[in-house]
Structure 1
Amino acid sequence: MRWSVNPSLSSPLHPSTRLRSWLLDNGSLTAKLLKLSQGDFRVEVLRQLNARASLSEAQALGINPHQICLIREVILRGHNQPWVFARSVLPLSSLTGNLRHLRKQGNRPLGAFLFSQPHLKRSPIALSLISRHHAYVPEKLVGDAQIWGRRSIFSLSDKPLLVSEVFLPGFPGE
């Protein structure tokens, strides 16, 4: 699985025009999903643990691959349907000071917090085509589909956080 900031969107395998607008939007995905769901939106936490990031994630974050991170995987649901799988990788070294509370985010959307921060910086969005064989998204959520995801690095006070969002089969914004 490769993440690319400039994927060839003219290849045979590319997202639809509608999905591309979701993938490349620099605003808050949480806010867009709240609007799309007319407020019938929730975060389901699948798991949260301290572990190492994948090599690709560590490289994107610019951290040592052996560094321990808080990894949080959730499903963003609209109308109780699974719309987006999100994986956040937060180096423990970033979870200090005013970011310390992110260790206990629970079922609150991370995006709501991030986009409320006035000095938030975001890297360019990287895209990837994902299949169940990549084991990035739980197989039961992917089935036999190939789905598109995006990721970017958010930075607050020079503390990086990686957020990946994968649009699941049946996402109504497609």
Structure 2
Amino acid sequence: MEKLLGRARWFDHPNAVQAGPLLRQWLADPGSMTFKLRARCDALRVQRLRQRPGNALQDECGLLGLTPREAVEERDVILHCDGHPVLFGHTVTPLASAAAWPFFRRLGNRPLGGSLFSDPLVTRAPIQYARLHAGHPLVRRVCQALDLHSQPPLQPLYARRSLFRRHGSVMLVTDVFLPALSTLMALNM
């Protein structure tokens, strides 16, 4: 059903998404993917795809405490490791709470992880896990960014997301693991 509706089923445990052991280990890592990737490649580059006001996705509204019509600030990026796209990052925060995240609008092509994980005022809720199928809006954004319109991924893309809090405001960060990440994981076991 989730495949048809463009929604994902999010789980509280990485075993629920039936990922292999190495991928499951990466999904469940409590640290910053930015730091993890930076340690495994010579050149990490952030490509900002967009940052603008918008609406939260259907499967984000409940977690953010929003109705589907409430505005958010959203940011989509692709992290490239040594020239290969390995991670799609999607971040949303309610527009009403944007002031609690002063660094967010100024990131440009810099990674979010450095700001989030170094701020002592930020707390993180437990990680959730999903397999995103071709109909999911984030998979469609990945296909658009990587120019894969004629060949969407045959396999689901694995994702994780966490809710971060700062001064009572929330920010939802979703990491979508791209196929090239498998090669990087295998090389750096």
Is the TM-score greater than 0.5?
Answer: yes
Q: What does residue 120 of structure 1 align with? A: 122
Given that 2:103 and 2:115 are in contact with CA atoms closer than 8 Å, whether structure 1 keeps it comes out as no
Q: What does residue 30 of structure 1 align with? A: 34
Which SS does the other structure have where 1:36 is aligned?
Answer: coil
Matched, 1:129 2:131: yes
Given that 1:48 and 1:71 are in contact with CA atoms closer than 8 Å, whether structure 2 keeps it comes out as yes
Q: What is the rounded CA distance, in whole Å, between the counterparts of 1:152 and 1:123 in structure 2?
A: 6
In the superposition, relative to structure 1, how do residues 135 and 55 fare at CA in structure 2: closer, same or farther (>3 Å)?
closer
Which SS does the other structure have where 1:47 is aligned?
Answer: strand
- Greater share of residues in helix: 2
Give aligned pairs, total. Answer: 169
Given that 2:48 and 2:109 are in contact with CA atoms closer than 8 Å, whether structure 1 keeps it comes out as yes
The alignment yields a C-alpha RMSD, in angstroms, of 1.8
Which runs of 5 or more residues in structure 1 are unaligned? Answer: none
Matched, 1:162 2:172: yes
Q: What is the rounded CA distance, in whole Å, between the counterparts of 1:162 and 1:24 in structure 2?
A: 16
Measure how far apart 1:150 and its partner are: 0.3
Q: What does residue 43 of structure 1 align with? A: 46
Given that 2:92 and 2:172 are in contact with CA atoms closer than 8 Å, whether structure 1 keeps it comes out as yes
Given that 1:59 and 1:65 are in contact with CA atoms closer than 8 Å, whether structure 2 keeps it comes out as no
- TM-score when scaled to structure 2? 0.82
Given that 2:160 and 2:176 are in contact with CA atoms closer than 8 Å, whether structure 1 keeps it comes out as yes
Matched letter for residue 34 of structure 1 = R
Which runs of 5 or more residues in structure 2 are unaligned? Answer: 1-7
Q: Which of 95, 100, 112 is the matching residue for 2:98?
A: 95
Moved more, 78-87 or 115-124: 115-124
